[in-house]
C-alpha cells in the first residue's frame, strides 16, 4: 500500500515542532526556576525585615499605652506591674532591632536605623524617668510634663519606624517588580517561540484539513440550524433537550434543574399580511438578535416554527428563569419595528416548565410548555405563564420577580421619587419648633402605575429592594439616587450663597446597598459625581446597613478611606440589629451609628433594650461617633433618648417624609433667612 506523502510530511512536521517546543520549554523553565529561587530568597529576607520593623513599631505603641495606663492608676503595685510590662515591650523592641542588624543593609536602611538608635535612647531615657517619677511621690504637674515629653519622643520614634516599614515595603515592591520583569521577558520569549511553532503546525495541518473541515462544518450547520435566523432548528433543539434531560436523570439529585420555554410572537401575522414575508423575515432576524443578547451564553434559543421559538435554560432555577423570560417579554414589547416608513409593535407569549427529577419524559415536558404558552395567550398575551402556577410558592416568586422588570425601567419612566425625612438634634431644647434640620435622610419611593393611574401609589423599598439586591440591580438604583441627590444639592448651592467656609450646613444621608460595596467602580462614580456637582464639605453621609458591613468589612473600610478624602461621612444603619460585637468599629472610622428601630421602639418598656441603647451610646462617645435613634414614635421614647444622651433622633413623631423638592424648598428658605441675619 502506497503511503500518502502529505500524511508523512504532516507527521514529520508535527514531530519536529513538538520536539522543538519540548526543548524550548525545558531550557526556559530551568531559567525561570533559577530566577524565582533567587528572588524568593531576597523577598523572604525583606519580609523578615518588615516583620521586625512592625514588631518594633508595635512595641513602641504598646509601651506608650502601658505608660499611659500606669499614669491612670493610683495603685502603686499596679504601677509596678505596668513597669514590668514596659520592660517586656522594650525587650521585644531590642530583639527585633537586633534581628534587623543581622541582615545586610542598604545605605538608606543603615541611615534610618542609626537615627532610630539615637531616637530610641532619647525615648528610653524619657520613659524611664517618667516611670520612676510615677513610682515616686513627684507632683502631678511634673509627672504630666514628663509623660508629655515621653509621648512626643515616642511619636518621633514611631515616625521613624513608619519610614522604615515603608522602606521595606518599597524594597519588596522593587523585588516583585524585578521578578515580574524577568519572568515577563522569559515568558515573552517562550510565547513567541511557541507562537512560531504553533503557526508552523497550523500551516502544515491546513494543507490537508482546511477544505474538509469547511465542508463538514457547512453540512453540519445546515443540518442543525435555521437558514433564516441561524438559530438551531427543531431537531437540534430536541437533541439538546434530551441531553439536558439525561443530566437530570443521571445526576442522583445533585444536578441543577433546567427550564424549558415556548415563545410565540403576538401580532406577527399582521406584519406578514400587510408588509409581506420579507418584512416578516427581517423582523424575525432583529428579534432573534435582541433575545440572544438577553439570554446567557450557554442557553439555547431555537426556531421551531414560523413565529415560534424554543428556549432551553440549562442549570437554571425557577426565579432566574422568570427573570430571563420577563425580560424577554419587556424587550420585545418595547421594540419598535420600522418598515417603509411604518412603525409596528409585536409581543411575545411565553410558556415555562421546569425540568427536574419529577419530569417523566421530554414529550410531556414539551406538551406542558406548549399548553403554558397557549395559557399565556388566553390570559391576555405579552406575559409569562408557568406550568403549575397554582403552587403558592411559585405565585409568590412570580410576584417578587415582577418587580425586576419595573426596576429595570423605573429610572427611564421617572417612576422613582426621592423623599427626605429630617434628623433632629436632641441637644436642641425645642425640638417641635426647631427650624429646618441640617440633616436629612434620603428615602427612595417607586410609583406603581400598573393600573393605569398616572399618579400611582407609592411603593416602599421593602417591597422591591430585596428583589433588586437578589438579582444585582441595586447598582443602577444606587447610582440613580446618588446622582439625583447630588443634583438637588447643586441646585441648592446655585440659589443660596454658601458660608465663608464653603459649607451649606445641610447633610443628606444616602443609603447604599451591599451590591455597591462589592462594586469596584462605585467609589470612582461617587467621586466623579462629587466633583461634577461641586458638593460642599460634609454635605453627604453614606449609610450602610450593619449586616452589609459585617459581610463586607474589607470593602467597607476601603470605601470609607477612599471617599473620606472628599469629606464624605459614613453611618452604620440598623446598628444593633444583629448579634455582632463592637470590635469591628475600631477599624472603621464611621461618623454615626443609627440605632436599630426595633430596639428604640421597645426601650420604653424593655429594660434590656434600654440598656442596649445606653451601651451603644457609651461606645459611640468613647470612639467619637455620634448616635442617631431610628423609629422615634412617641414622646416617652424621645424623653428617654434625651436622658440617655443620644445625639440625634429620627421618626414619624418628629417628622414625616416629604418629597425632596418640597423639603429642599424649606431648606432654601431657612438658609436665606440665616444668611440675612448674618
- The CA-atom distances, in angstroms, between 282 and each of 222, 229, 287, 310, 328 are 20, 9, 9, 19, 18
From the number of C-beta atoms within 10 Å of its C-beta (0-12, 13-18, 19+), residue 67 rates as: buried
Contact assessment for residue 596 and residue 571, using Cβ atoms and an 8 Å cutoff: no
Helix (H, G, I), strand (E, B) or coil at 347: strand
Q: Round to whole Å and give the CA distance between 155 and 365.
A: 75
Could you identify the residue written with the cell 450663597? Answer: 497
Which ranges in 436-499 belong to alpha helices (H)? Answer: 461-470, 474-495
C-alpha cell at 99: 534581628
DSSP strand pairing (258-266 vs 308-313) = antiparallel
The dihedral sign for the CA sequence 25, 31, 32, 33: positive
DSSP reduced 3-state for 646:
coil
How many angstroms from the chain centroid is the CA of residue 468?
14
Pairwise CA distance, residues 435 & 421, whole Å:
14
Query: Which residues in 513-528 are b (16+ Cβ under 10 Å) and which e?
Result: bbbbbebeebbebbee
Per annotation, catalytic residue among 226, 266, 299, 307: 307
Q: Is 357 left (phi over 0), alpha (psi -120 to 50) or beta?
A: alpha
Tell me if residue 226 is catalytic: no
| Alpha carbons 350 and 362: distance in angstroms, whole number | 18
The 8-class DSSP code of residue 335 comes to -
Rounded alpha-carbon distances, angstroms, from residue 248 to 197, 355, 363, 387, 514: 43, 8, 15, 19, 34
CA-to-CA dists, residue 272 to 277, 302, 347, angstroms: 5, 21, 15
CA distance 317 to 338: 36
Calculate the CA 416 to chain-centre distance: 22
| C-alpha cell read off for 343 | 412603525
**Residues contacting 339, CB < 8 A, separation 6+:** 271, 275, 279, 282, 283
The grid coordinates listed for 297 are 451564553
**Angle of helix 522-532 relative to helix 474-495, nearest 10 degrees?**
20
Label the pairing between strands 439-448 and 507-511: parallel
Q: For residue 625, which phi and psi values (nearest 5 degrees)? A: -115, 125
Burial class (CB in 10 A: 0-12, 13-18, 19+), 656: exposed
CB 468 within 8 A of CB 511: no
Strands (E), 578-649: 592-595, 626-629, 648-649
Q: How many CB atoms lie within 10 A of CB 74?
A: 7
What are the cell numbers at 372? 403554558
> Which residues are tagged catalytic?
307
Amino acid at each position: 500500500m502506497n503511503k500518502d506523502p502529505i500524511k508523512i510530511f504532516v507527521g514529520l512536521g508535527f514531530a519536529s515542532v513538538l520536539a522543538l517546543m519540548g526543548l524550548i520549554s525545558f531550557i526556559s523553565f530551568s531559567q525561570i526556576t533559577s530566577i524565582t529561587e533567587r528572588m524568593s530568597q531576597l523577598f523572604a529576607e525583606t519580609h523578615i525585615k518588615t516583620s521586625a520593623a512592625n514588631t518594633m513599631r508595635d512595641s513602641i505603641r504598646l509601651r506608650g499605652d502601658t505608660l499611659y495606663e500606669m499614669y491612670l492608676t493610683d495603685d502603686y503595685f499596679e504601677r509596678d506591674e505596668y513597669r514590668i510590662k514596659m520592660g517586656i515591650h522594650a525587650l521585644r523592641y531590642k530583639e527585633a532591632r537586633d534581628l534587623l542588624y543581622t541582615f545586610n543593609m542598604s545605605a538608606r536602611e543603615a541611615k534610618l536605623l542609626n537615627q532610630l538608635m539615637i531616637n530610641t535612647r532619647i525615648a528610653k531615657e524619657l520613659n524611664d524617668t517618667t516611670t520612676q517619677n510615677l513610682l515616686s511621690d513627684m507632683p502631678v504637674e511634673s509627672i504630666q510634663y514628663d509623660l508629655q515629653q515621653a509621648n512626643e519622643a515616642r511619636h518621633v520614634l514611631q515616625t521613624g519606624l513608619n519610614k522604615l516599614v515603608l522602606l521595606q515595603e518599597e524594597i519588596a515592591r522593587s523585588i516583585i517588580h524585578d521578578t515580574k520583569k524577568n519572568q515577563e521577558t522569559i515568558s515573552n520569549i517562550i510565547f513567541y517561540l511557541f507562537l512560531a511553532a504553533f503557526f508552523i503546525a497550523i500551516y502544515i495541518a491546513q494543507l490537508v484539513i482546511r477544505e474538509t473541515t469547511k465542508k463538514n462544518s457547512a453540512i453540519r450547520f445546515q443540518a442543525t440550524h435555521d437558514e433564516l435566523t441561524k438559530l438551531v432548528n427543531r431537531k437540534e433543539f430536541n437533541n439538546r433537550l434530551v441531553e439536558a434531560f439525561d443530566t437530570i436523570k443521571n445526576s442522583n439529585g445533585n444536578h441543577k434543574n433546567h427550564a424549558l420555554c415556548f415563545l410565540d410572537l403576538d401580532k406577527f401575522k399582521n406584519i406578514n399580511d400587510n408588509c409581506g414575508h420579507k418584512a416578516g423575515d427581517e423582523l424575525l432576524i432583529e428579534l432573534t438578535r435582541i433575545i440572544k443578547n438577553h439570554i446567557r451564553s450557554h442557553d439555547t434559543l431555537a426556531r421551531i416554527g414560523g413565529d415560534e421559538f424554543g428556549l432551553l435554560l440549562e442549570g437554571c432555577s425557577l426565579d432566574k428563569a422568570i427573570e430571563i423570560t420577563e425580560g424577554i417579554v419587556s424587550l420585545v414589547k418595547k421594540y419598535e419595528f420600522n418598515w417603509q416608513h411604518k412603525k409596528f409593535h409585536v409581543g411575545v407569549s411565553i410558556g415555562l416548565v421546569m425540568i427536574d427529577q419529577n419530569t417523566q419524559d421530554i414529550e410531556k415536558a414539551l406538551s406542558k410548555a406548549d399548553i403554558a404558552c397557549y395559557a399565556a395567550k388566553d390570559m391576555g398575551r405579552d406575559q409569562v405563564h408557568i406550568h403549575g402556577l397554582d403552587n403558592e410558592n411559585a405565585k409568590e416568586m412570580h410576584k417578587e420577580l415582577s418587580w425586576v422588570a419595573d426596576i429595570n425601567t423605573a429610572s427611564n419612566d421617572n417612576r422613582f421619587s426621592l423623599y427626605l425625612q429630617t434628623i433632629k438634634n436632641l441637644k436642641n431644647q425645642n425640638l417641635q419648633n426647631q427650624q429646618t434640620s441640617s440633616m436629612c435622610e434620603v428615602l427612595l419611593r417607586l410609583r406603581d402605575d400598573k393600573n393605569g393611574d398616572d399618579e400611582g401609589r407609592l411603593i416602599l423599598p421593602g417591597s422591591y429592594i430585596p428583589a433588586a439586591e437578589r438579582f444585582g440591580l441595586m447598582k443602577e438604583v444606587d447610582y440613580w439616587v446618588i446622582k439625583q441627590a447630588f443634583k438637588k444639592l447643586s441646585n441648592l448651592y446655585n440659589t443660596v450663597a454658601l458660608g465663608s467656609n464653603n459649607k451649606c450646613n445641610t447633610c443628606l444621608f444616602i443609603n447604599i446597598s451591599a451590591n455597591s460595596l462589592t462594586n469596584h467602580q462605585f467609589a470612582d462614580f461617587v467621586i466623579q459625581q462629587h466633583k461634577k456637582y461641586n458638593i460642599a464639605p460634609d454635605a453627604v453621609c453614606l449609610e450602610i446597613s450593619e449586616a452589609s458591613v459585617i459581610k463586607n468589612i474589607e470593602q467597607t473600610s476601603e470605601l470609607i478611606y477612599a471617599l473620606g478624602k472628599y469629606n464624605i461621612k459614613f453611618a452604620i444603619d440598623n446598628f444593633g440589629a444583629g448579634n455582632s460585637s463592637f470590635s469591628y468599629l475600631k477599624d472603621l472610622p464611621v461618623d454615626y451609628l443609627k440605632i436599630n428601630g426595633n430596639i428604640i421602639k421597645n426601650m420604653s418598656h424593655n429594660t434590656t433594650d434600654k440598656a442596649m441603647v445606653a451601651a451603644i451610646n457609651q461606645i459611640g462617645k468613647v470612639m467619637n461617633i455620634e448616635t442617631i435613634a431610628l423609629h422615634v414614635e412617641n414622646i416617652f421614647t424621645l424623653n428617654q433618648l434625651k436622658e440617655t444622651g443620644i445625639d440625634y433622633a429620627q421618626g414619624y413623631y418628629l417628622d414625616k417624609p416629604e418629597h425632596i423638592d418640597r423639603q429642599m424648598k424649606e431648606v432654601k428658605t431657612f438658609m436665606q433667612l440665616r444668611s440675612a441675619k448674618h
